[in-house]
């Protein structure tokens, strides 16, 4: 006698609500964001400490948008467009990836166009996203890996409560250069949420 057929259900879509503040709108990445995304990821200043080289072709941004949208459908990651609240123009991104929901942890990465840096916008965006990850999704730990030469990024995460937990020596090889990675961890109880 045969049993009932197995039913394979997709897990529920991970929550990625739109988040906002007076200065920022955090929303899903759209196809029309590709030019702004290219402007960020083709800038050598922005990409100096990333694990891959600056983009050279606008098609790379179009492929990235398609990858982000596919990964959202496959529940692999969350990627917010960091947009100016007035114009809705993408000025940066924040990705949450390597999610281990059963373990309550994930990794985070972010970028911001140089024109918008130095105004506290990255901190503002990360606070909203971290609040969502800890309060709404119930995660207990968020990790970040940062090139130790990127002092601005190190200061940013430390200001949010991340703790430097170790160094992976010569982890990345980009543009003929070896680079270390500093591993940071943030536990829910250590999150500094100054709104």
Domains along the chain with CATH numbers: 22-190 (3.40.630.30)
> Cβ distance 129 to 160 under 8 Å?
no
> Cβ distance 122 to 92 under 8 Å?
yes
Q: What is the pLDDT of residues 93-102, one digit of tens each?
A: 999 999 998 9
Is 12's pLDDT higher than 60?
A: no
Q: How confident is the prediction for the chain on average, in pLDDT? A: 91
Is 37's pLDDT higher than 70?
A: yes
pLDDT score for 74: 78
pLDDT band for position 192 (50/70/90)? confident
> Residue range 127-142: average pLDDT?
96
pLDDT score for 143: 98
pLDDT score for 115: 95
- pTM for the predicted model, two decimal places: 0.88
Neighbours of 58 (CB within 10 A): 14
CA pair distance 92, 40, nearest whole angstrom = 7
Q: What is the pLDDT of residues 154-179, one digit of tens each?
A: 999 999 999 999 999 999 998 889 99
Neighbours of 3 (CB within 10 A): 5
């Amino acid at each position: 006698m045969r049993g009932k057929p197995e039913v394979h259900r997709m897990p529920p879509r991970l929550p990625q609500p739109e988040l906002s503040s007076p200065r920022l709108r955090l929303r899903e990445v759209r196809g029309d964001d590709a030019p702004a995304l290219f402007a960020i990821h083709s800038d050598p200043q922005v990409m100096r400490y990333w694990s891959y080289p600056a983009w050279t072709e606008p098609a790379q941004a179009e492929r990235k948008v398609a990858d982000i949208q596919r990964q959202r459908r496959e529940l692999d990651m969350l990627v917010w467009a960091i947009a100016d609240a007035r114009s809705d123009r993408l000025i940066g991104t924040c990705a949450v990836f390597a999610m281990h929901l059963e373990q309550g942890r994930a990794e985070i990465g972010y970028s911001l166009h140089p024109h918008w840096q130095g105004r506290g916008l990255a901190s503002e965006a990360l606070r909203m996203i971290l609040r969502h990850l800890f309060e709404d999704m119930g995660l207990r730990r968020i990790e970040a890996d940062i090139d130790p030469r990127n002092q601005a990024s190190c200061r940013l995460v430390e200001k949010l409560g991340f703790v430097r937990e170790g160094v992976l020596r010569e982890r990345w090889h980009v543009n003929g250069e070896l680079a270390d990675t500093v591993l940071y961890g943030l536990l829910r109880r250590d999150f500094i949420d100054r709104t």
